[in-house]
Structure formats: C-alpha cells, structure tokens
Structure 1
Amino acid sequence: MKNLLLQYKPFLLFLGKFLLSYLVLTLLYQSYLSRFDAAKNEVDSFTQLVANQTQLILSWVDSHSYVAPNANEPSIKVIYHDKYVIRIIEGCNALSVIILFVAFLIAFTGKLKNTLLFIFFGSLFIHLLNIARIALLAIALYHFPNSEHILHGVVFPLVIYGIVFLLWVLWVNNYSYHATRFAKK
C-alpha cells in the first residue's frame, strides 16, 4: 500500500490541492451569492456587471440593444434590435469556469509571481471571452432563433471550455513546476 501511495504521490497531491482549492473557492462564491435574495429576483452584482458589459458590446453593433431586469426571475433580459433574445442568469457570469481554472493552476502550481499573474490575466481573458460569447449568442439567436440548443448548449460551451483547456496546457507546459522540472532533464 505504501508503495502505491509513493508511486501515485504526485497525482494524489495534485488531486488533493485541486479538490481543496475548488471547494474553498466554491464555498466563498456560494457565500457571496447568499447575500442576494433570489426570491426577490435579485441578481448578484457580478452577473449585473457582465450584463452591463454585454450591453456595451451590443450597443456597438446595434443602438437598439439594452439590458433590463427580469421581474419574473433572478435574471437580466438582453434586448437586441428591440427584441428580447436571451437572459443572463448567475450561471452565465463565468465565475464557476474561473473557479475551475484557478483551482487547476493552484493544483499544478508554479512560482508564486507566475501563478498570480497567470491567474489574474487568465481570469480576465475568460471574463472578456465570456462577454463576447454572450454578445455573439444574443446576435446569433436574434438571426437564428431555432438554433438555440446547438449554439447555447454545444458551440459556445465548447469554445469557452476549449480555451480554458488551452490555457491549462500553456500553464503546465511553460510555467508550472512540472514544466521546469522536465525542462531541466
């Protein structure tokens, strides 16, 4: 048994750090969300920020685009070309994707400065990508309303998770201690 633990120690350390950091970050996020009352249709401030930034992007394309609170649920309506096309809910703000991204970087750690910089710029990149994703989804669904399942359920998640995966590969191969250890051999 001891030999197995020693043999799989790197994997077990990675798994332990990943699960612990993911759990802590998720609990912090849930604590943040608990400050908003879904029964009163309150939307958390980060989701509101995402909606406002999406509105800004859409306004560059169409002056008849805006966002509005949804009186029926905790979400924000996105109106594009004077038509209600999508709603932004808490799950659309990409914070859960960023938490996953950060937990992986913590688990596959590197030098502190590199780790913090990669977390900051990677999270910012994911956030900006998410804003673009929502804006493009609104435009696409305005023009192709029957394609919601494929666009929202397949194409856009594939893009955002694919890019997060590529960021992880970049991190592991260039900045993590794993990369420096194998570069020395």
Structure 2
Amino acid sequence: MKTLFQTYKPVIRFILTFLVVYFVLAFAYKWYLEYSKTSAYQPDYITYHVANQSQILLNAMGFESDIALHQGEPWVRLLLNGTYIVRIIEGCNAVSVIILFIAFIVAFASGLKKTILYIIAGSVLIYVANVLRIAILTIGLYKYPQFEHILHGVVFPLLIYGMVFLLWVVWVNYFVKQKKKHEKPATL
C-alpha cells in the first residue's frame, strides 16, 4: 500500500489540492451570493456588472441596448433595439468557470508569483471573453432566434470551456514543464 501511495503521490496531491481549492472558493462564492441578497444590486453585484458591461459593448458595436431589473426576478434583462432578448442570471457571470480555472492552476502551481500572475491574467481573460460572449450571443439570438439551443447550449459553452482548457494546456506546457526543463538532471 505504501508503494502504491508513493507511486501515485503527485496524482493524489493534485486531486486533493484541486478539490480543496475548488470547494473553498465555491463555498466563498455561495456565501457571497447569500450576502448579495441584501445588496442594492440584483441579482448580485458581479452579474449586474456583467450585464451592464455587455450592454456597453453592444452599444459600442452600434446596437441600441439596455438592461432592465424587475423586482423579485433573479436576473437582469438585456434588451436589444427595444426587444427583450436574454436574461442574464448568476450562472452567466463566469465566476463558476473562473473558480474551476483557479483550482486547476493552484493544483499545478509553479512558483507563487508566476501562479498568481497567471491566475489574474487568466481570470481577466475569461471574464472579458464572457462579456464578449454574452454580447455576441445576444446579437445572434436577436437575428437568429431559431438557433437558440445550438447557440446558447452548444457553441458558446464550447467556446468558453474550450478557452479555459487551452489556458490549462498553456499553463502545464509552458509554465509547469518549464520548471522541470531547467532542473539539473539526476546523477548516478
């Protein structure tokens, strides 16, 4: 049993680190959502700002867009050219995706400074890509409402999760493995 543990020690460490970081961040996010119920921003501060930034982006792209809040609704309505197109709920703010991203990066940590900088850069990239995703999805649903399932259920989740996967691959191949390339080889 000890030999088996020694053989798979890196895998076990990765899994435990990933799970601990993921559950700590998920619990903190859940606490934040509970706290947000008393906030002036509905449904929560981050989701409200994602909707607002999506609206600003749409307006910058030449569309007339607006957001609307309705008492008791746990979402922000996004209107395009006066038509209610999408509702932005808490799950649309990319925080859960960022938590997943961070847990993986920490589980494969490679130096404190490098890890923190990559987490910040990757999280900002995911957030910005998500705002862009919402804006483009809104335009797509406005122009092609018949493709709602394929756009919202397949194409855009594939893009956001695909980007996270590529960020993980870059982290492992260019930052974690780089450390091993510079280590001195073992001498016999």
Note whether the superposition's TM-score is higher than 0.5.
Answer: yes
2:104 maps to 1:104: yes
Letter paired with 2:128: L
Q: Where does 1:55-74 land on structure 2 (aligned, <5 Å)?
A: 55-71=55-71, 73-74=73-74
Q: Residue 109 of structure 2: SS of its match in structure 1? A: coil
Letter paired with 1:54: S
Tell me the distance in 2 between the aligned counterparts of 1:14 and 1:105: 10
Q: Where does 1:116-135 land on structure 2 (aligned, <5 Å)?
A: 116-135=116-135
**TM-score scaled by structure 1?**
0.93
Aligned-pair CA distance for 1:112: 0.7
Q: Which residue of 2 aligns with 1:180?
A: 179
Per-residue Cα deviation, 1:102-135 (whole angstroms, up to 9, x for no partner): 0001000011111010000100000000000000
Aligned-pair CA distance for 1:179: 3.9
Q: Which residue of 2 aligns with 1:21?
A: 21
2:10 maps to 1:10: yes
Q: Residue 35 of structure 1: SS of its match in structure 2? A: helix
8 A Cα contact 1:85 1:141, kept in partner: yes
Q: Which residue of 1 aligns with 2:167?
A: 167
Q: Residue 78 of structure 1: SS of its match in structure 2? A: strand
8 A Cα contact 2:55 2:67, kept in partner: yes
Q: Where does 1:26-41 land on structure 2 (aligned, <5 Å)?
A: 26-37=26-37
Per-residue Cα deviation, 1:46-75 (whole angstroms, up to 9, x for no partner): 101101100100111235211111345210
Tell me the distance in 2 between the aligned counterparts of 1:97 and 1:13: 22
Gaps of 5+ in 1: none
Please list every run of at least 4 consecutive aligned residues from structure 1 whose deviation after the TM superposition is greater than 3 angstroms.
182-185
8 A Cα contact 1:78 1:84, kept in partner: yes
8 A Cα contact 1:65 1:82, kept in partner: yes
**TM-score scaled by structure 2?**
0.92
- Number of aligned residue pairs: 183
Q: Which residue of 2 aligns with 1:51?
A: 51
Aligned-pair CA distance for 1:183: 5.4
Tell me the distance in 1 between the aligned counterparts of 2:156 and 2:45: 23
2:147 maps to 1:147: yes
Identical columns (%):
47
Q: Which residue of 1 aligns with 2:90?
A: 90
